[in-house]
Structures are given as structure tokens and as C-alpha cells.
């Protein structure tokens, strides 16, 4: 006589996954990707993991810390090059491009960055140290290197945040193009002596040149650091 299967009323409950900080963070990132940052809470993440919110607090202090851990995980994909003094400006641009693209690819991350005023995780501090090292290698005085790093981080984060707002807007880029077309039509209706400069720039107002605008601003911001570089003494 063969063994019969265990009756369902005797079966134990399925074993829960062993919680860890890594699992909690990856689950929170999945929730953000599907439902947006506003949906990420300790309760929502616990629900996704099939447990109660209290069990998460053994690994993550609160929602703010969870957001910071999520941001750190997102930033882990950014390559920070070894310092080459001869290419320090181009290397800064590469970092700024990568940072912006990663933030845009993870809607909600830019908002977390705006709220994380002073990063404290070892991984983030290593990235900051390399960026400051690039500018010092290029000859920027220490105080201005700090100012410049802050300006670059603020610009790239703001660009990514703006992109996330367009993504959230119904119609996305199509809506942006529609609004620009409406403004163009309105400017065309005005008498020649009104809003003269806006009328002159009508051909330049396009919604499909975001990357061109981004690169121009990077050149303006990073290329402008040249005037502050301390030149080595000659002779």
C-alpha cells in the first residue's frame, strides 16, 4: 500500500521568506517602480512581503531610512572613474550624465535625493570623495570644489525630477509638445512689437531637444570652472 499525501488540514503554513535589509529594500524598489514613491511605506512593503510592519523595524528604522537605503541601492549602479587630471572636466560630465540617466530610469529617486540633504552611507561618501578628488586634481581650490560638487548634484537631480514630473503628466512628452505648439500659435498672433524676444526664439522652442539642452548646461556649469582653476606657478 502506497503512502497517501498529507491531508490539507495537517499541512503547516508556507514558510515566510527570511527578512533582511536587502530584501526589504529590493521590495520597496519594486513597489516604487510599479506604484510610485508615494506608495512606499513600511506597511505597504510589509504587505508585499506577507508580514506585518513591526517585523521590518528590526532591519530598517523608519520610512526615511528606507528611502535612503533605496537611493543608495539605485546609486550603486553608477560607475565613478579613476581620477585622470588631464580629463577631469570630461569625467565630471560622464558622472553627471550617468547620475541623471539613473535617476530618470528610477522615477521617485530624484525626490528621495532632494530630501536626503547630507548623504551618510559609506557608498555615497566614496562617490562624493571621488568627485571632489576630480576637481582638486583639476586645480580647483577646496572651497570652490565643494561649491561646484553641490551645484552639479543639484542640477542633475533637478533635471531628473523635472523629467519625472513630465512622466507623471497625462500624455507625457506629447503633452509638452502640445503646450509648446499652443504657445507658438499664441506668439504668432501678437503684434510685432510685443514679446519681441520670445517671438524671435520661436524656432528654438522645441520639446525634442532635452539632451541638447542638458549638454549645453553641463558645458556651461563644468566648463565655467576653468576660470577658478589655480594654475601651477611657471618657472
- pLDDT tens by residue, 64-100: 999 999 999 998 878 888 899 999 999 999 999 999 9
Give me the long-range contacts of 21-26 (CB less than 8 A, separation at least 24): 21/59, 21/60, 21/69, 23/49, 24/49, 24/56, 24/59, 24/60, 24/66, 24/69, 25/60, 25/66, 25/69, 25/70, 25/73, 26/73
Burial 183-210 (b: 16+ CB within 10 A, else e): eeeebeeeeeeeeeeeeeeeeeeeeeee
Averaged pLDDT, 22-51: 95
**Residue 48: which pLDDT band, with cuts at 50, 70 and 90?**
very high
pLDDT at 169 over 70: no
Name the more confident of 16 and 27. 27
pLDDT at 233 over 50: no
Averaged pLDDT, 178-192: 88
What CATH class has 81-228? mainly alpha
Averaged pLDDT, 113-137: 83
Least confident interval from 33-42, 145-154, 172-181: 172-181
Give the residue among 173, 165, 170 at the shortest CA–CA distance from 114: 165
pLDDT at 183 over 80: yes
What pLDDT was estimated at residue 44? Answer: 96
Residue-range domain boundaries for the chain: 16-74, 81-228
pLDDT at 7 over 50: yes
What pLDDT was estimated at residue 163? Answer: 85
For the chain, give the mean pLDDT.
86
pLDDT at 234 over 50: no
- Architecture (CATH level 2) of domain 16-74: Orthogonal Bundle (1.10)
pTM over 0.85: no
Name the more confident of 28 and 207. 28
Share of the chain above pLDDT 90, in %: 60
Amino acid at each position: 500500500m502506497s503512502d497517501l499525501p498529507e491531508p490539507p488540514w495537517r499541512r503547516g503554513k508556507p514558510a515566510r521568506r527570511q527578512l533582511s535589509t536587502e530584501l526589504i529594500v529590493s521590495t520597496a524598489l519594486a513597489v516604487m517602480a510599479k506604484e510610485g514613491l508615494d506608495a512606499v511605506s513600511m506597511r505597504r512593503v510589509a504587505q508585499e512581503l506577507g508580514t506585518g510592519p513591526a517585523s521590518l523595524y528590526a532591519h530598517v528604522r523608519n520610512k526615511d531610512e528606507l528611502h535612503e537605503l533605496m537611493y543608495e541601492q539605485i546609486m550603486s549602479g553608477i560607475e565613478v572613474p579613476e581620477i585622470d587630471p588631464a580629463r577631469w572636466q570630461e569625467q565630471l560630465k560622464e558622472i553627471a550624465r550617468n547620475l541623471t540617466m539613473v535617476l530618470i530610469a528610477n522615477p521617485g529617486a530624484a525626490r528621495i535625493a532632494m530630501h536626503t540633504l547630507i548623504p551618510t552611507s559609506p557608498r555615497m561618501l566614496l562617490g562624493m570623495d571621488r568627485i571632489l578628488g576630480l576637481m582638486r586634481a583639476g586645480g580647483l581650490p577646496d572651497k570652490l570644489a565643494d561649491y561646484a560638487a553641490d551645484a552639479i548634484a543639484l542640477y542633475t537631480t533637478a533635471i531628473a525630477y523635472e523629467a519625472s514630473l513630465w512622466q507623471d503628466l497625462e500624455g507625457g512628452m506629447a503633452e509638452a509638445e502640445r503646450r509648446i505648439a499652443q504657445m507658438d500659435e499664441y506668439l504668432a498672433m501678437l503684434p510685432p512689437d510685443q514679446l519681441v524676444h520670445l517671438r524671435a526664439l520661436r524656432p528654438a522652442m522645441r520639446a525634442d531637444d532635452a539632451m541638447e539642452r542638458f549638454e549645453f548646461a553641463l558645458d556651461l556649469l563644468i566648463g565655467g570652472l576653468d576660470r577658478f582653476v589655480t594654475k601651477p606657478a611657471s618657472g
